[in-house]
Structure 1
Amino acid sequence: MCLVGGWLWVSRWSKLRHLLDTPTSRIRSAAQGYVELAGVLRDLPDTPPLIAPLTATPCLWWRYRIEEYRTGSKRGSWNVLEQGSSDGLLRLFDATGDCLIDPRGAEVLPARRDCWTGDQRHPRGAPTSGVLAWLTGHRQYRYTEERLHADEPLYAIGEFRTSGGGRQGLDLQAAQGQVVREWKEDYAGLLQRFDHNRDGQLDQAEWSRVRLAASLEAQQRHRLASGRQALHKLARPAEDLPFVLSSHGEEVLVRRYRGQAAGGAMLCLLGAALLATRVVG
């Protein structure tokens, strides 16, 4: 109880502080690095919507779980048989532009959630409700499906990067080295271009010409990349920072994490009190 409560307390409090300490940015003017965004989900152009695996509902993201009820010697419990989630890119839009989101590794908290039971491992359709659901009673299998849909609000916090649009500076030495490495993969072609005396190898003067040509090539690539439209992308941070996608606003998340942190602290203190009682006893 101490360990679980302490972990819950520290992890949720850390997430809470990151959410509160990171101001909400606009997509077009967001700084490179760890940012917080808020906007509306939109369909990706020229991309058909995903189909949720249990309800066959068109959506932008899904997560599902199938459980089976098994009885033991004392009592029964639900055991997970299958679970999974989609990993396709999401598109977040605000008044200044849009940003692609890679949901892999994110804590996703969607507003759409269906949970129902059935007598087959895979459900035959969407969940029933009302009197029909009550009459069917307990079933052997339980299904849970969560989804994100177009035109829903989305709060996102993660690692923000922009390519193109003149936002990236040029590290000429690194870019030059990358070009040279690419050319070396076709060494015969490299000799054909720069081995002027045709002795089958590159001398010091010829290598100087290789490096000069690679430098010019790197600068040309940078100019072309800068001329393209800026592409913004949000993904999981490299550091141990929260990566959260939620259909609920920041205020709802703050209340949730604050409550979980308080519950973890109480569990930790209760465990410590019980441990102290046993030691004294």
Structure 2
Amino acid sequence: MATDVAGLALSLAFSVGACVGGGWWCVQRWRQARILLDTPTSKIRSAAQGFVELYGVLKEQVEPPLRAPLTDTPCVWWRYRIEECSRDSNNKLRWRVVESGTSEAWLRLADATGECLIDPRGAEVRAATRQSWHGSQRHPLRLERGGLFSLLFNQSGYRYKEERLHAGEPLYAIGDFHTQGGGRTGLDLERARGEVVREWKQDFQGLLTRFDSNADGRLDEPEWQRVQLAAGLEAEQRHRQVSLQPAQNIMRRPGEAQPFLLSSSGEDDVARSFQWQAAAGAVACLLGALATAWLLQNAL
């Protein structure tokens, strides 16, 4: 009886998990698809500050181009994964990830009106260039590549996957957009002053040297007021310096629960893919609910 109860509990855990997880995935992907379709495409020069959608062409950065770690191919962004194949105690082949990585270099997107720098950290990147192959060595650049032969006649092998974005390719991007410099950045004095004070506090001894006029080892109320005044003046000076710099457009991960997506495919293709994934999530939710009901009915 104990075995039956344990088996029932495990089955219920899987069915409930499929139901809840599928439902969450369905709602999440459907919501993201609607956001993509409802957000109009903006031109970089006239884009509003905040959550925007851009479409343009990737450009090379000024610094030397990146090279993908597995194929040594020049690119502007990469992601890779290396999996090792080995046999378990039952002599079954198992794949496990032994190494992976993602480029954090910024991207430069251009359209007919201007350019925007994109910080790809935290983005869902859907690259058109994807390569997968097998080999007998962990690092295919350092040693000669193998192939499926190595998996058939050796106890272990490796599977590689590499994704890349290249200069000259189109890119669809949706995320948080803002412009620095060019006199467009407004000053939130209270916030900027607080940032300066926090920066100064990291060298508290230096702060005491500058503002502890009675040398008692602490900052009293009048001394702290002078700190606040000096920090405000410093914040205004920094803001003036930034405002004099040329305007620079930047896209980053949104702070709210909004999608941050970079894709070689257009908006319609991505939204359609999300809708199919939402449908798959709905099917998983329905099957999980039916399985849960069936298990509970047979348990009674």
The bucket for the TM-score relative to the shorter chain is 0.7 to 0.9
Change (3 A) 1:121 1:136: closer
Alignment match of 1:258 (pick from 260, 275, 278): 275
Structure 1, unmatched stretches of 5+, are none
Kept in 2: contact 1:89–1:102 (CA 8 A): yes
1:218-237 pair list within 5 angstroms:
218-237=235-254
Superposition TM-score, scaled by structure 1 size: 0.82
Change (3 A) 1:125 1:175: closer
Cα deviation, 1:178-230, whole Å, max 9, x if unaligned, reads 56774984444457xxx7xxx76999999888876765554444333222111
Report the Cα distance in structure 1 between the residues aligned to 2:121 and 2:59, rounded to whole angstroms. 18
Letter in 2 for 1:234: M
Report the Cα distance in structure 1 between the residues aligned to 2:222 and 2:141, rounded to whole angstroms. 73
Q: CA RMSD in A?
A: 3.2
Letter in 1 for 2:67: I
Report the Cα distance in structure 2 between the residues aligned to 1:159 and 1:137, rounded to whole angstroms. 45
Kept in 2: contact 1:158–1:235 (CA 8 A): yes
Task: Report the more deviating stretch, 114-123 or 200-209.
Answer: 200-209
Change (3 A) 1:127 1:5: farther
Query: Is 1:112 the equivalent of 2:151?
Result: no
Q: Which residue of 2 aligns with 1:63?
A: 79
Q: Percent identity?
A: 54
Kept in 2: contact 1:32–1:161 (CA 8 A): yes
Report the Cα distance in structure 2 between the residues aligned to 1:249 and 1:268, rounded to whole angstroms. 29
Give, in angstroms, the shift of residue 164 of structure 1: 0.8
Query: Is 1:16 the equivalent of 2:36?
Result: no
Q: Which residue of 2 aligns with 1:276?
A: 293
Report the Cα distance in structure 1 between the residues aligned to 2:83 and 2:221, rounded to whole angstroms. 68
Cα deviation, 1:50-108, whole Å, max 9, x if unaligned, reads 11111011111111111122234274232211111111111111112111111111111
Give, in angstroms, the shift of residue 274 of structure 1: 2.4
Q: Which residue of 2 aligns with 1:248?
A: 265
Letter in 1 for 2:79: R
Q: Which residue of 1 aligns with 2:12?
A: none
Cα deviation, 1:126-150, whole Å, max 9, x if unaligned, reads 999xxx9787775721111100110
Other structure's SS at 2:120 match: coil
Q: Which residue of 2 aligns with 1:38?
A: 55
Change (3 A) 1:125 1:158: same
Query: Is 1:53 the equivalent of 2:53?
Result: no
Report the Cα distance in structure 2 between the residues aligned to 1:151 and 1:136, rounded to whole angstroms. 37
Change (3 A) 1:93 1:5: same
Letter in 2 for 1:48: P
Other structure's SS at 1:48 match: coil
Kept in 2: contact 1:116–1:127 (CA 8 A): no
Report the Cα distance in structure 2 between the residues aligned to 1:212 and 1:142, rounded to whole angstroms. 60
